[in-house]
Chain A
Amino acid sequence: MTKVAVIGIGQSLRGDDVAGLEAVRQWREKFPETANRPEVQIEASELPGLALIDALKDVDAAILVDAVQSSAKSGTVHRLSEEDLASFTSDSKSAHGWGVAETLQMRSQLTDEKINIRIIGIETAQVELGARLSQVVEDAMPIICEAIEEEIHALLK
């Protein structure tokens, strides 16, 4: 049985940074049959940092849903592999706030266990402190939920 982790990442008081958490919450409501399967493990994670390495233990595959910032239009849904993520390397320059890309790089230095990691990135419009999810990212939620559902079925095959 392939065990898959679905991990929503983001902060709930920082505008679109919450997109990953919110998308996983909505997917869970929309697709309860998939979400309740015993081989599916769901996690909502604010600022996981290096703890993401532990969250990826004991699973064969993982879908990480997170907000991203690139030159794409706000609300764009990116579907990336671990290798693709290198181009999204965080510019936070902070080891206190390890980003997903750096943490996955760190993981690959520390373990030979290969797992299939898929990343669903949501292009943000704003990440203001105290702000709500922007309308453009809210409007993208159904597409993100479909993307999670598709990715998970591909991994569970």
Chain B
Amino acid sequence: MKNIEVPALARVEGEGGLYIGLENGKAVEIRLDIYEPPRFFEGFLKDRFLQEVPDITARICGICPVAYQMSAAYALENALGVKISPQARALRRLMYCGEYIESHALHIYMLQAPDLLGKESALELAAEAPEVVKTALRLKKIGNELLKAIGGRSVHPVNVCVGGFYSWPEAKALKALLPDLEWGLNAALDTVKLALTLPYPDLEIDYEFVALHHPDEYGVIEGEIWSSNGRKLSIAEYENGYIEEHVKHSNALHSHTVDGSTYLVGPLARLNLNHEQLMPNAKKALADSGIQLPLKNPYKSLIARGIELVHFYEEAIKLINEYKPTGPAHVELKLKAGEGSGATEAPRGLLYHRYKIDGNGMVQFAKITPPTAQNLPRIEADLFALTPKLISMSEAEATLTAEHLVRSYDPCISCATHFLKLKVEEK
């Protein structure tokens, strides 16, 4: 069999290609090539006022702008020693629910399900099963509506600020979403049932799972960074456990643990580490599924996303029912020089930010580690593990199987290509 080469990956966000070099039936080289140009976001942030950072970083991604806003806001609040009010914290979780809902509905139905159902694209799926796609679009739209109600618009919402929110959204506008959210909760439960019937390729990997963990809630904001290998770090200690470095074939940085090993962030990591904190319906859906944790098949991250979809619909309903904003929406900031880090769980996994600011609140240094940069070495390692199976397949089937594996990670290549210095090397 010839080498496997996919010059441009479809149904992933951003521009990347895949190369598997084979010699005597064994993989000798695997590269997830990232062509997406570096975007220099960390460079843009230098000398910008801290309050601009959430809105600038939101532009890194059209799918998970809230994650960028949240990690930025928490990092800068930590730099200033500011604690937001409990109501603002609850509203941040509610906003995050909207982002998880729209992102997961898109990935489950539009990006990954076509692979599992043997369809070339979501368009083909829409032609054969329009009702499924209509449900998917409605599930996604409700997430967008929730973001719009809180952040003014669903793409790059604008209400999040360092210290809380610029203003409280109207309770009436949020409560008006409840009937749709109730429908969505049931549709999400059906999504899990559907997910359990899909034909997943056999592949079990002994991952090191890494996710934010909070004892009282499903880890999304605040808490500790837990690893399935037992490493527990505070958010401020993240860089003591995980390191990013440049690799030649990629415009994205690659992360590994301090021990030099790969690790996995995202829905499988969250579900495996945090399943005890799921909301009741999501917990029941997991129990009824008969799935034994830890879930170690990367393709089955679709099931994990399905269970999380239930969780976030359910949590959104709870938070809206409890929503009673009182007092100011944000804490008044007292500027001082400092340094702070923040990490939250983006739909694709842990998203870490660190900033240094001067006494006027101007950013002097910014570091952003997105989930895809952390998962890229892991994707390449999974492809090595998959290669013995690929050898026995036709070239077309092997290419599709490898592409599908990459897509199951929902890699956000645009987010990952962010490093500051571009160095072009010629061989």
What is A's interface to B at a CB cutoff of 8 Å? Answer: 13, 46-51, 53-54, 93-97, 102, 105-106, 109-110, 129-130
B155 and A46 contacting across the interface, CB-CB below 8 Å: yes
Given the complex of chains A and B, what is the CA–CA distance between A102 and B14 in angstroms? 17
Tell me which residues from 113 to 171 in chain B have a Cβ below 8 Å from any Cβ of chain A. 121-123, 126-127, 130, 133-134, 137, 140-141, 144, 153-156
Give every chain B residue within 8 A of A48 (Cβ-Cβ). Answer: 155
**Contacts A93-B8, A94-B12; A50 near B140 (Cβ below 8 A):** yes
Query: Which chain B residue lies CB-closest to A14?
Result: B59
- How many pairs, one residue from A and one from B, have CB atoms within 8 Å of each other in the complex? 65
A54 and B10 contacting across the interface, CB-CB below 8 Å: no
Give every chain A residue within 8 A of B153 (Cβ-Cβ). Answer: 46
B123 and A106 contacting across the interface, CB-CB below 8 Å: yes
Give every chain A residue within 8 A of B88 (Cβ-Cβ). Answer: none
Interface centre among A46, A51, A94, A102 (most CB of B within 10 A): A94
B126 and A93 contacting across the interface, CB-CB below 8 Å: no
B133 and A93 contacting across the interface, CB-CB below 8 Å: no
B133 and A97 contacting across the interface, CB-CB below 8 Å: no
Query: Which chain A residue lies CB-closest to B137?
Result: A50
Given the complex of chains A and B, what is the CA–CA distance between A53 and B412 in angstroms? 24
Interface centre among A13, A93, A105 (most CB of B within 10 A): A93
B133 and A94 contacting across the interface, CB-CB below 8 Å: no
- Interface flag for B13 (CB, 8 Å): yes
B9 and A93 contacting across the interface, CB-CB below 8 Å: yes
B62 and A95 contacting across the interface, CB-CB below 8 Å: no
Given the complex of chains A and B, what is the CA–CA distance between A96 and B9 in angstroms? 13
B122 and A93 contacting across the interface, CB-CB below 8 Å: no
- Interface flag for B106 (CB, 8 Å): yes
Size of interface on B: residues with Cβ below 8 Å to A: 33
B144 and A95 contacting across the interface, CB-CB below 8 Å: no
B235 to chain A, nearest CB (A): 27
A95 and B111 contacting across the interface, CB-CB below 8 Å: yes
B13 and A97 contacting across the interface, CB-CB below 8 Å: yes
A47 and B62 contacting across the interface, CB-CB below 8 Å: yes
Given the complex of chains A and B, what is the CA–CA distance between A48 and B111 in angstroms? 17
A109's partner among B12, B14, B106, B130 (CB-CB below 8 A) is B130
Interface centre among A47, A54, A96, A106 (most CB of B within 10 A): A96
Give every chain B residue within 8 A of A49 (Cβ-Cβ). Answer: 62, 155
A106 and B111 contacting across the interface, CB-CB below 8 Å: no
- Interface flag for B44 (CB, 8 Å): yes
- Interface flag for B39 (CB, 8 Å): yes
A94 and B62 contacting across the interface, CB-CB below 8 Å: no
- Interface flag for B11 (CB, 8 Å): yes
B120 to chain A, nearest CB (A): 12
A46's partner among B110, B156, B412 (CB-CB below 8 A) is B156
B11 and A94 contacting across the interface, CB-CB below 8 Å: yes
Given the complex of chains A and B, what is the CA–CA distance between A106 and B124 in angstroms? 9
- Interface flag for B63 (CB, 8 Å): yes
Starting from the known contacts A94-B14, A96-B12, 8 additional A-B residue pairs (CB-CB under 8 Å) come to A50-B110, A54-B137, A93-B8, A93-B12, A95-B11, A97-B62, A109-B123, A110-B130
B126 and A110 contacting across the interface, CB-CB below 8 Å: yes
7 nearest A-B residue pairs (beta carbon): A96-B13, A109-B126, A93-B10, A47-B62, A47-B155, A95-B11, A95-B110
Interface centre among A50, A54, A97, A129 (most CB of B within 10 A): A50
Proximity string of chain B (281-316) to chain A, C-beta cutoff 8 Å, 1 when within and 0 when not: 000000000000000000000000000000000000
Give every chain A residue within 8 A of B13 (Cβ-Cβ). Answer: 94, 96-97
Given the complex of chains A and B, what is the CA–CA distance between A74 and B130 in angstroms? 38
Give every chain A residue within 8 A of B123 (Cβ-Cβ). Answer: 102, 105-106, 109
Query: Which chain A residue lies CB-closest to B125?
Result: A109
Query: Which chain B residue lies CB-closest to A46?
Result: B155
B154 to chain A, nearest CB (A): 7
A93 and B11 contacting across the interface, CB-CB below 8 Å: yes
| 20 A–B contacts from the bound complex (CB under 8 Å) | A46-B153, A46-B156, A47-B155, A47-B156, A93-B9, A93-B11, A93-B12, A95-B106, A95-B110, A95-B122, A96-B111, A97-B13, A105-B123, A106-B122, A106-B126, A109-B123, A109-B127, A109-B133, A110-B133, A110-B137
